[in-house]
Amino acid sequence: MGGARLGKPGTQVDLAGGAPVLPKDITARSWIVADAESGDVLAAHNAHWRLAPASTLKMLFADTLLPKWPKTTEHKVAVSDLAGIGAGSSLVGVKEEETYTVHDLWLGVFLRSGNDAVHVLSAMNGGVDKTVADMNEHAEELQALDTNVVSPDGYDAPHQVSSAYDLTLFARSGLQKKDFREYASTVRAKFPGQTEKDKKGKTTRKPFEIQNTNRLLSGDSDMDVYPGIAGVKNGNTTNAGATFTGVAERNGKVLLVTVMNPAKDEHNEVYKETARLFDWGFAAAGKARPVGELVRPRSAAQASPGPDASGEAGGTGKGSAGTGPVAGATASDGSGGVGIAAGVAAGVLVLLAGGAFLVNRKWPLPDLVRRRTRP
């Protein structure tokens, strides 16, 4: 899928045209660098290796379920909603018998990678089994054929796999949704606390602050915020190691980078390797020849015009024959965010009419944001 070279093991890159050499200190088992708009894959390493995804799988969860409810929809959490959460899961702090808006729950998913928030949204969707089925169906629609979903939150489970290629497809699809972009770029937000009653019987419910665990977006003691970063999702489990998909903009160019399971030699290694691949990608853009492409969803490919047709979005791409995957061994309302990331070059990115995919056409990302302040 995405071209014959992406089905080959090892590093795939074409440096003709004066592109810089790839960084030598990339230890990830699998990674990919792609143009988010044209879909061109600039370089990849074991792009279709099927690996445990960890919480990066929540990108598919969000892309599948975000359209289902208005953000203002309220839900009172039942005990059964939180059943089956894996031991040691990342949690945002959802409490039984408390009421949350869908907006609150999505903040919990994107910022704290809260498996509790995922399970509540899954319950609202008819249960975990139905949600898993919906996610697998959506993955097939996106032509993410390396992916098999077993747990909607990305928690380690037998036979649950994805690939750097598929995770990049999920991010690219999700970024067409305004809510997805805003949640993915939110640095910090207020999340509803637990209702408490004082001695006089007065009840209060104080919110507490949550911060995005994506260190390229929020920074860390050994990490600066990456210039132009706008999301998307990180993950870390025993089987998956660290995983991450990021999107960033520089000088009008928007890139997606996915990194899976780097060596644990340094703190925040997955972010450091992602940053190095972003740096290479921006330097190589327009110079390195594509080694593959990010495919369109099935329905869009079937409905799209022929390769010579024109579209509002402009741009050109290259189709290529797909190959089988390679097998291998993770917003501005109410109680919402107080720190979505300053806009990434407002006006640079143009809305693709109807959010449709066009054959051999660019897929612009509308009003991508970074560190925009929320009230």
State how far the Cα of 83 lies from the Cα of 80, in Å rounded to an integer.
5
**Residues pairing with 44 in the sheet:** 12, 32
Q: How many domains does the chain have?
A: 1
Q: What count of other Cβ atoms lies within 10 Å of the Cβ of residue 195? A: 13
CB count in 10 Å sphere of residue 220: 13
Regarding predicted confidence, which is higher, 161 or 337? 161
pLDDT tens column, 109-162: 999 999 999 999 999 999 999 999 999 999 999 999 999 999 999 999 999 999
Does residue 210 belong to any structural domain of this protein?
yes
State phi, psi for 240 to the nearest 5 degrees.
Answer: -85, -25
pLDDT of residue 368: 62
Q: 255 in a domain, yes or no?
A: yes
Catalytic residue chosen out of the listed positions 30, 38, 55, 163? 55
Choice between 312 and 152, residue whose per-residue pLDDT is larger: 152
Catalytic position from the list 30, 38, 58, 90: 58
The arithmetic mean of pLDDT across residues 85-93, rounded, is 96
Catalytic residue check, 113: yes
Average pLDDT estimate for 362-370: 57
The catalytic residue among 30, 38, 90, 113 is 113
Residue 69 maps to which CATH number? 3.40.710.10
Dihedral, CA atoms, 300, 149, 70, 120, nearest 10 degrees? 180
From start to end of the chain, where are the E strands? 11-13, 30-35, 40-45, 74-76, 99-101, 188-191, 196-197, 203-204, 208-211, 229-237, 241-250, 253-260, 292-293
Please indicate whether residue 178 is annotated as part of the active site. no
Percent of the chain with pLDDT over 70: 80
pLDDT of residue 20: 95
Residue 206 lies in a domain: yes
- pLDDT tens for each residue of 206-227: 999 999 999 999 999 999 999 9
Within a domain: 371: no
Q: Is 127 strand, coil or helix?
A: coil
Q: Is 291 exposed, middle or buried (0-12, 13-18, 19+ CB in 10 A)?
A: buried
pLDDT value, residue 350: 33
pLDDT digits (tens, 9 = 90+) for 43-73: 999 999 999 999 999 999 999 999 999 999 9
Domain contains 228: yes
Is 46 a domain residue? yes
Domain extent for 306: 4-355
Q: The pTM is what?
A: 0.85
| Contact (Cβ atoms closer than 8 angstroms) between residue 63 and residue 180 | yes
Tell me what percent of the residues of the chain surpass a pLDDT of 90: 75
* Residue 362 annotated among the catalytic residues of the structure: no
Is residue 374 a part of any domain in this protein? no
Task: Judge whether 363 lies within some domain.
Answer: no
